[in-house]
Amino acid sequence: MIDLRSDTVTKPSKKMRQIIKDAKVGDDVYGEDPSVIELEEKIALMAKKEAAVFVPSGTQSNLLALLSHCQRGDEYICGQDAHLYKYEAGGGAVVGSIQPQPIEFEKDATLDLEKIKKKIKPIDNHHARTKLLCLENTHNGKVLSLEYIKEASKFAKENNLALHLDGARVFNAVVALEVKLEDITKYFDSVSICLSKGLGAPIGSVLTGSKEFIKEARHYRKMLGGGLRQSGLLAAAATYALDNHIKNLKKDHELAKYLTKKLKKIDKIKIISNDTNMLFIEVENSKELVEYLKNNGILISGYGELRIVVHRDISKKDIKKVIEVFKSYYIK
Ligand SMILES: Cc1ncc(COP(=O)(O)O)c(C=O)c1O
């Protein structure tokens, strides 16, 4: 199967499995796992933050950020389709009693600062206390510009809001903008980064921020059952991914662009967007097309608007096959 549903389907390579096998481990709940310590220090250094904490998933990382920034009865502002609001089982509300205030994303995946301003609650007994603003980069593959991030950071400071980034795919933004991680992360109080998506590690995310913030996040990680023991097995794979796989994201972006260029030539396919490693298309009979692709060895996501995600386990040969199968469906 050529699996284009998500970059989460990437599998650890032979070399990565060897790294996992040979990883030095200890009890991380005692703070004694050398591979976890190495990964956390590495990410903190790359992001120019004081500290970091390794967690099982991006969902837990985002939830730790909400819990560590906000108290019960506080509020966070985020995008209407933000992963941490829409696709994480309402964790902030359920576990933290933190009220979400979603706002529609603009077409470029920014949140309009004027619209946010209107939603910040005045300090008054009637309202939840607005404490946090959350951005997502990349969102549906779209990269936030450094100018916008800088503006959003200034805005957050002026309005006494902490600023969190769901940077599940922040390295796709790093590669697209040709900048360093710190050029993006320096504007945020906290950043969640996934190692198990385009970077190809099997499991794990890292939350990074100030020492005090990460101390708080570690407390909540334990509470949520995320305190793992010999998790160096996973951390070693993540460190290997950081050392070796970031540069490969460029290939994913190029292949997604190549596929877009070819599919654009088919009249019945409407290209909605193509940014970094993602491509969204609209077609009639989308259910039938998804089924046809599946019967021809290709998996893609969704009904209605369809999502195609290129990742490190996809080659140019695979993409060429995808183009041929699309053509065989439309050009009879
Ligand atoms: C933007 C974004 N944030 C967070 C997550 C959550 O990551 P995880 O699946 O590791 O919980 C995802 C997962 O796909 C995501 O796309």
pLDDT value of residue 288: 95
CA-to-CA dists, residue 19 to 16, 202, 288, 302, 305, angstroms: 5, 12, 42, 35, 39
The angle subtended at Cα 310 by Cα 306 and Cα 316, nearest 5°, is 120
Domains 8-244 and 248-330 equal at CATH topology level: no
Strand 74-79 relative to strand 129-136, pairing: parallel
pLDDT value of residue 64: 98
299 forms beta bridges with 3
Percent with pLDDT over 70 in the chain: 100
The verdict on the CB of residue 230 being under 6 Å from ligand 1 is no
For residues 220 and 132, what is the distance between their CA atoms, to the nearest angstrom?
18
The verdict on the CB of residue 142 being under 6 Å from ligand 1 is no
For residues 42 and 39, what is the distance between their CA atoms, to the nearest angstrom?
5
The verdict on the CB of residue 7 being under 6 Å from ligand 1 is no
pLDDT mean over 143-160? 98
Residue 32 has a CB neighbour count (10 Å cut-off) of 14
Position in ligand 1 atom list of the atom nearest CA 62 = 4
In the chain, beta strands by DSSP E: 2-3, 51-55, 74-79, 99-103, 129-136, 162-167, 190-194, 205-209, 270-275, 278-282, 298-299, 305-309
Please provide the size of the chain in residues.
332
The verdict on the CB of residue 59 being under 6 Å from ligand 1 is yes
Ligand 1 pocket mutation, candidates 87, 140, 143, 190, criterion most atoms within 8 A of CB:
87
CATH number for region 8-244 = 3.40.640.10
Query: How far is the centre of ligand 1, averaged over its atoms, from the C-alpha of 236 (Å)?
Result: 20
**Contact status, residue 220 vs residue 209, Cβ threshold 8 Å:** no
pLDDT mean over 257-279? 97
**Contact status, residue 83 vs residue 106, Cβ threshold 8 Å:** no
Tell me: pLDDT of 53 over 90: yes
Query: How far is the centre of ligand 1, averaged over its atoms, from the C-alpha of 123 (Å)?
Result: 33
The verdict on the CB of residue 136 being under 6 Å from ligand 1 is yes
Residue 76 has a CB neighbour count (10 Å cut-off) of 28
pLDDT mean over 60-78? 98
| Residue 118 identity (one-letter amino acid) | K
pLDDT value of residue 84: 98
Q: How confident is the model at residue 331 (pLDDT cuts 50, 70, 90)?
A: confident
The verdict on the CB of residue 131 being under 6 Å from ligand 1 is no
The verdict on the CB of residue 234 being under 6 Å from ligand 1 is no
Residues 22-42: pLDDT tens digits?
999 999 999 999 999 999 999
| Residue 328 identity (one-letter amino acid) | S
- Which residues make Cβ contacts (< 8 Å) with residue 75, sequence separation at least 6? 98, 99, 100, 101, 121, 127, 128, 129, 130, 131, 132
Tell me: pLDDT of 303 over 80: no
Residue 263's H or E segment, with its range, is: helix 249-264
The verdict on the CB of residue 164 being under 6 Å from ligand 1 is no
The verdict on the CB of residue 57 being under 6 Å from ligand 1 is yes
Tell me: pLDDT of 152 over 80: yes
Phi, psi of 272 (to 5 degrees): -85, -50
Q: Which amino acid residue places its CA nearest to atom 8 of ligand 1?
A: 58
* Structure tokens belonging to residue 318: 């695979």
Ligand 1 pocket mutation, candidates 83, 138, 143, criterion most atoms within 8 A of CB:
83
Tell me: pLDDT of 230 over 90: yes
Question: 3-class SS at 281?
Answer: strand
pLDDT mean over 110-115? 98
**Contact status, residue 232 vs residue 35, Cβ threshold 8 Å:** yes
**Contact status, residue 130 vs residue 161, Cβ threshold 8 Å:** yes
- Which residues make Cβ contacts (< 8 Å) with residue 118, sequence separation at least 6? none
pLDDT value of residue 332: 75
Residue 308 DSSP class:
E
The correct answer on CATH 3.30.1490.120 for the domain covering 248-330 is no
The verdict on the CB of residue 138 being under 6 Å from ligand 1 is no
For residues 66 and 194, what is the distance between their CA atoms, to the nearest angstrom?
17
The angle subtended at Cα 13 by Cα 33 and Cα 296, nearest 5°, is 140
pLDDT value of residue 304: 73
For the chain, the domains span: 8-244, 248-330
Query: How far is the centre of ligand 1, averaged over its atoms, from the C-alpha of 233 (Å)?
Result: 21
